[in-house]
Amino acid sequence: MILIDGKKAAAELREELKLEVSELKTKYNKVPGLTVILIGDMTPSQIYVRNKEKSANEVGLKSEVIKYPDTVEEKTVLEKIEELNKDETVSGILVQLPLPKHIDKQKVIEAILPSKDVDGFHPMNVGNLSSGYESSIPCTPLGCYLLIKKIEPNLSGKKAVVVGRSNLNGKPMTQLLLKENCTVTITHSRTKDLKAECLEADIIVAAVGIPELVKSDWVKKDAIVIDVGINKTDNGIVGDVAFNEVSKVAKALTPVPGGVGPMTIACLLKNTIECFKRSQI
């Protein structure tokens, strides 16, 4: 079984991006800039943002974090986004989710210029991705896609099953696999026989949020299994796939932690660089 090492893949991607940033600096005499807006003091969000800033600096991006207390008015955030939209030194804008209840998430997402939307959540980017046009792609599914392509460069005709249909993970993942000419089934909480669907798959991507939902007798021999789940349990952090048993049947499997997670941040940096390059045309 191939253990898909997301940490290693992310480190390799960051090295490639570092080189690219240095070439862009030579060519344009400036570097891509990422601005993250962090609202409130939720610990996980603070950790994510700190890691994003550290990684951005590591590859040579200009990075900035704007912090607001969780009492900040929606208007203040929207005005700041408007200002960042106009700022030529800012290539990418990310508002760390979740937001306090009094702030309308969709309004915030739609306030970001689609060309600076490094999360790929703006409806324009969602539409472009599903129409097969150039777009920012949500970072976690992009990371999954790059890991799958490392194992199997030609996905044409493969049967893929995506478990979970969130806007963040399942839906964009489906679009990426479809673009690669996979035959894709997207499943969710109302799917009648999830085990039977999974057993058909050459590729399974599980993005559900239920600890160890996908068992070994759901997985076809030699399938590629990508585990997006991050679930806190009494036994520590586990994924949506029962790692120990599935590793006995799968051809390749991502661990949790150390699989998809590290790729998510590396893909955010990649998206920032892509936004910068598109803005220079």
Which helix (H) or strand (E) element contains residue 161? strand 159-163
Secondary structure of residue 57 in the 3-state scheme:
helix
46 is catalytic: no
Q: Which of 62, 80, 96, 117 is catalytic?
A: 96
The Cα–Cα gap between 61 and 53 comes to 9
Quick one: 24 or 227, whose CB is closer to ligand NAP?
227
Contacts 24+ apart (CB under 8 A), 247-251: 247/1, 247/3, 248/1, 248/216, 249/216, 249/219, 249/220, 249/221, 249/222, 249/223, 250/1, 250/219, 250/222, 250/223, 250/224, 250/225, 251/1, 251/2, 251/151, 251/221, 251/222, 251/223, 251/224
Q: Is residue 5 flagged as an active site residue?
A: no
In the complex, minimum distance from the CB of residue 44 to ligand NAP, in angstroms, rounded to a whole number: 10
Given the residues 52, 158, 220, 270, the one annotated as active site:
52
Q: β-pairing, 252-253 with 224-227?
A: parallel
Active site annotation includes 8? no
Q: Which is nearer to ligand NAP, 233 or 244 (CB)?
A: 233
- Smallest distance, ligand NAP to C-beta of residue 216, A: 17
- Give 74's contacts (C-beta < 8 A, 6+ positions apart): 102, 103, 104, 107, 108
Taking the complex as a whole, the smallest distance from the CB of residue 280 to ligand NAP amounts, in Å, to 29
| Least distance between ligand NAP and beta carbon 240 (Å) | 6
Question: Toward ligand NAP, which CB reaches closer, 33 or 164?
Answer: 164
Q: Which is nearer to ligand NAP, 139 or 223 (CB)?
A: 139
By CB under 6 A, name the binding residues for ligand NAP: 140, 163-166, 168-170, 187-191, 194, 207-210, 228-231, 260-261, 264
The single residue of 119, 202, 227, 240 carrying the catalytic annotation is 119
Active site residues: 52, 96, 119
